[in-house]
Amino acid sequence: MSTNTTAAAGREWRSRFPTVNYLNADYGIKSWLLTKDHKRIAILYLISVTFFFAIGGAYAAAIRLELLTPMGDLMQSATYNKVFTHHGIMMVFFFLIPAIPGVLGNFLIPLMIGAKDMAFPKINLLSWYVFMAGGLLTFSALLFGGVDTGWTFYVPYSTNFSNTYVTLAGLGIFINGFSSILTGLNFIVTTHTMRAPGMTWFRLPLFVWSQYATALIMILGTPVIAITVLLLALERLAHVGIFDPALGGDPVLFQHMFWFYSHPAVYIMILPSMAVISELVATHTRKPVFGYSFVAFSSLAIAVFGFLVWGHHLFVSSQSVYAGMIFSLISFVVAIPSAVKVFNWTATMYKGSISYDTPMLYVFAFIGLFMIGGMTGMFLAALGFDIHVHDTYFVVAHFHYVMVGGTVMGYMGGLHNWWPKMTGRMYPEGWARFAALIIFVGFNLTFFPQFLLGYMGMPRRYHAYPAGEPMWQVLHVMSTGGATVLGIGLLIPAVYFIWSMRYGRFAPANPWPGTGLEWRTASPPPTENFLVTPVVTWEAYEYRPIEEMQVIGPGAPDQTVGGQHPANRGVETEER
Amino acid sequence: MAEHIVPRKTYFAVFAALLVFTALTVIAANINFGKMNDVIAMTIAVTKMMLVLLFFMHVRYSSRLIWVIVASMFFWLLILLLLTSTDYSSRDWFGSHVGSVVGRQ
């Protein structure tokens, strides 16, 4: 839709509606800290995960600076150990895992299913407080002196040798786990019990399906990491002998228990991103998602299979070769549902009316980068190849392609797509496209050289590397340069998002336009989401070509929500 | 879902049973049953867990959906134990020079 049309529609909408929405319904810090509104809690999450992301990013910058030269010029190896540990802990536990469920999931799930709020609004707020408690506790451990075990806390180093704040950081992660469980519980119960009349399971947006699958993993997996961290603390403080061979324990048992959660946790990070991509690809190609039920069930399949593959992290940890074969095989199997999604998104684009708005740019980035991340995952699932590249930069590059190329791209795409809904303002499209491009280029420049480095044998978690390998430094310089570009690329959205909250154009209720229920209420939505409970009489993603919209106009809002022939249904259908 | 009212007597009985089992745990820990040590300890622990689950957590009086959810939790626990044991049970198959000796406690 052209800029002028959107602006005009935005002005028209604002004049027609009451100006009270969830953002200005109440004022003051108390109204935010004691809110039970899922939309406000989402904003709280947005602020907190951005804070933790910035901290994690600062540590990443320190890592890249150190690796600019072969010698350990900037910091000693002990400091470097802490820096990469802090980077990992902050990014994994306090950004990647909570970001999309906490921000977009909390904001959108009730809106998408036509509910007034989550099933347990107080528990929802509690989950944010628990998250903050865990996050700040871990952050304090980093400030007091830090942790140097790596984010994986492998024993026996973490139990018997490390002289850093392992227990405090572990306690923070333990507490943070409860936040995940509470969020997951809320998502599941909300999806089961709060759907609007007519919103059957197979009319749910695929976003909700994926978030549901994520919530299952959160509930089933998180208790295991909580207990594992607890056992680690007990072992460290009281030497109970679970992981220490001298006391009859087994260090590999820690790896089994740790990865039983932490591998599915990868899917906690990527599934919500896939949730976003499913929505964006349909909205910005004006087509229903190809093979809806396949995409829906592939989310559940990923959630289930994700639990069966953890042993591929233990290929060289003295795990039995036979167990390794089983885990290798199942790891290949988990690629199938992921591939189903990628193929179906691509098929959705076929003959679609593809827009090049910012959210769609992030979809392109996601599909390409996730493909590379996923396929190199197949390399690593192969027993022989894994032994060659285990603990090298190849692995680092692989999971950054999945985590940053997957999760962060989805998160950014989702933020842009729903920013008008969240704030009632449009972001500047030109700047946003520019930033998306910068991020894409910066990302690839950072992480692609790391594949080559890893293949050549550069180990991860080392602060120095041989100067006699001239190619290594060239690649490291490229990577550091790329990280700088990526950092700038991520700062641009931070600036224009804040700018847009005050100076951005007013957003219409449905700027793209989308067919989901969240677009059938005002931007930003009122506190109760919908003034009239919507009745859903249409299937998910009933899109029509954008040209048709431009010829016949956005149409008058429905007098009743739903109940009309799809062709007559306008963009905005909320009765006010 | 209608709330099921559980008589107070049941709660006290379950609580008493849990105390008895806790005492049993301590006693059993001080006697060497040889190979049966683990079996006895786990039996007591599982019994206590089931009491808490069924009565304190009201699963006994809950809908089928809750039963399915609880069953899935056990299924997931089974996955954890089963796949981990594929490692421990097959470490020696290649001969003692491959794999860890730690697993054969």
HEC string of A203-251 equals HCCHHHHHHHHHHHHHHHHHHHHHHHHHHHHHHHHHCCCCCCHHHCCCH
Is B12 or B91 the better-scoring residue by pLDDT?
A: B12
What confidence score (pLDDT) does residue B65 get? 85
Residue A571 has pLDDT above 60, yes or no: no
* Contact at CB, A307 and B76, closer than 8 angstroms: yes
Q: What is the DSSP string of A533-553?
A: -----S-TT----HHHHHHH-
What confidence score (pLDDT) does residue A214 get? 95
* Bridge partners (DSSP) listed for residue A459: A392
From the list A250, A257, A307, which residue is nearest B79 (CB)? Answer: A307
B97 belongs to a structural domain: no
Contact A303, A334 (CB under 8 A): no
Residues of A in contact with B79 (CB under 8 A): 307-308
From the list B73, B98, B105, which residue is nearest A248 (CB)? Answer: B105
Chain A residues in contact with chain B using a Cβ-Cβ cutoff of 8 Å:
220, 224, 245, 248-253, 256-257, 260, 307-308, 310-311, 314, 318-323, 326-327
* Contact at CB, B76 and A220, closer than 8 angstroms: yes
* Contact at CB, A322 and B99, closer than 8 angstroms: no
* Contact at CB, A320 and B84, closer than 8 angstroms: no
The complex scores an ipTM of 0.81
* Bridge partners (DSSP) listed for residue B61: none
The alpha-carbon radius of gyration of chain A (Å, integer) is 24
Measured in angstroms, the CA of B9 and the nearest CA of chain A are apart by: 31
Interval A472-490 mean pLDDT: 96
Contact A478, A541 (CB under 8 A): no
B104 belongs to a structural domain: no
Q: What is the pLDDT of residues A83-93, one digit of tens each?
A: 999 999 999 99
Asked if B52 is an interface residue toward chain A (Cβ–Cβ < 8 A), one would say no
CA A162, A164, A165 angle in degrees (round to 5)?
125
B96 belongs to a structural domain: no
Interval A227-235 mean pLDDT: 94
Interval B72-77 mean pLDDT: 89
Count how many domains chain B has.
1
Contact A306, A217 (CB under 8 A): yes
Q: Between the CA of residue A569 and those of A276, A327, A575, B15, what are the distances in Å?
A: 24, 50, 13, 60
pLDDT band for position A545 (cuts 50, 70, 90): low
What confidence score (pLDDT) does residue A564 get? 37
From the list B76, B90, B105, which residue is nearest A323 (CB)? Answer: B90
Asked if B84 is an interface residue toward chain A (Cβ–Cβ < 8 A), one would say yes
What confidence score (pLDDT) does residue A1 get? 46
pLDDT band for position A15 (cuts 50, 70, 90): low
CA A382, A387, A390 angle in degrees (round to 5)?
100
CB burial readout A39-50, b (16+ within 10 A) else e: bbbbbbbbebbe
What confidence score (pLDDT) does residue A340 get? 95
What confidence score (pLDDT) does residue A260 get? 94
* Contact at CB, A250 and B98, closer than 8 angstroms: no
Contact A300, A528 (CB under 8 A): no
Identify residue A154 by its one-letter amino acid code.
Y
* Contact at CB, A320 and B91, closer than 8 angstroms: yes
Q: What is the pLDDT of residues A268-277, one digit of tens each?
A: 999 999 999 9
Asked if B76 is an interface residue toward chain A (Cβ–Cβ < 8 A), one would say yes
Measured in angstroms, the CA of A175 and the nearest CA of chain B are apart by: 21
How far is residue A146 CA from its own chain's centroid? Answer: 26
Contact B61, B4 (CB under 8 A): yes
B80 belongs to a structural domain: yes
Measured in angstroms, the CA of A248 and the nearest CA of chain B are apart by: 7
Q: What is d(CA A288, CA A352) in angstroms, rounded to the nearest whole number?
A: 9
Domains, chain A: 3-568 (1.20.210.10)
Closest by Cα among A316, A389, A334 to A154: A316
CA B15, B20, B21 angle in degrees (round to 5)?
95
Mean pLDDT of chain A: 90
Contact A344, A294 (CB under 8 A): yes
* Contact at CB, B99 and A256, closer than 8 angstroms: no
What confidence score (pLDDT) does residue A557 get? 39
pLDDT band for position A11 (cuts 50, 70, 90): low
Mutate to test the interface with A, among B69, B79, B87 (most CBs of A within 10 A): B87
Asked if B73 is an interface residue toward chain A (Cβ–Cβ < 8 A), one would say yes
Interval A368-393 mean pLDDT: 94
* Contact at CB, A322 and B100, closer than 8 angstroms: no
Neighbours of B100 (CB within 10 A): 18
What confidence score (pLDDT) does residue A513 get? 83
Interval A442-455 mean pLDDT: 96
Q: What is d(CA A94, CA A16) in angstroms, rounded to the nearest whole number?
A: 41
Q: What is d(CA A5, CA A568) in angstroms, rounded to the nearest whole number?
A: 20
Question: Which residues, 6+ apart, have CB-to-CB distance to B74 below 8 Å?
Answer: none
Asked if B62 is an interface residue toward chain A (Cβ–Cβ < 8 A), one would say no
What confidence score (pLDDT) does residue A52 get? 96
Closest by Cα among A405, A95, A134, A137 to A265: A95
Residue A560 has pLDDT above 60, yes or no: no
Query: Which of the residue ranges A340-354, B1-15, B52-66 would you say has the lowest mean pLDDT?
Result: B1-15
If you measure CA to CA, which chain B residue comes closest to A256?
B84
Query: B26 lies in which domain range?
Result: 8-90
> Which pair of structure tokens corresponds to residue A379?
């390399």
Contact A185, A103 (CB under 8 A): no
Interval A26-35 mean pLDDT: 92
- Angle between helical axes of A206-238 and A106-113 (0-180°, round to 10): 140
> Which pair of structure tokens corresponds to residue A84?
């990469």
* Contact at CB, B102 and A307, closer than 8 angstroms: no
* Contact at CB, B83 and A318, closer than 8 angstroms: no
Closest by Cα among A408, A530, A513 to A21: A530
* Bridge partners (DSSP) listed for residue A425: A506
If you measure CA to CA, which chain A residue comes closest to B96?
A320
Residues of B in contact with A322 (CB under 8 A): 86, 90, 93
* Contact at CB, B99 and A321, closer than 8 angstroms: yes
B45 belongs to a structural domain: yes
From the list A260, A320, A321, which residue is nearest B80 (CB)? Answer: A260
Contact B104, B91 (CB under 8 A): yes
pLDDT band for position A254 (cuts 50, 70, 90): very high
Q: What is d(CA A230, CA A234) in angstroms, rounded to the nearest whole number?
A: 6
Closest by Cα among A308, A161, A138, A151 to A220: A308
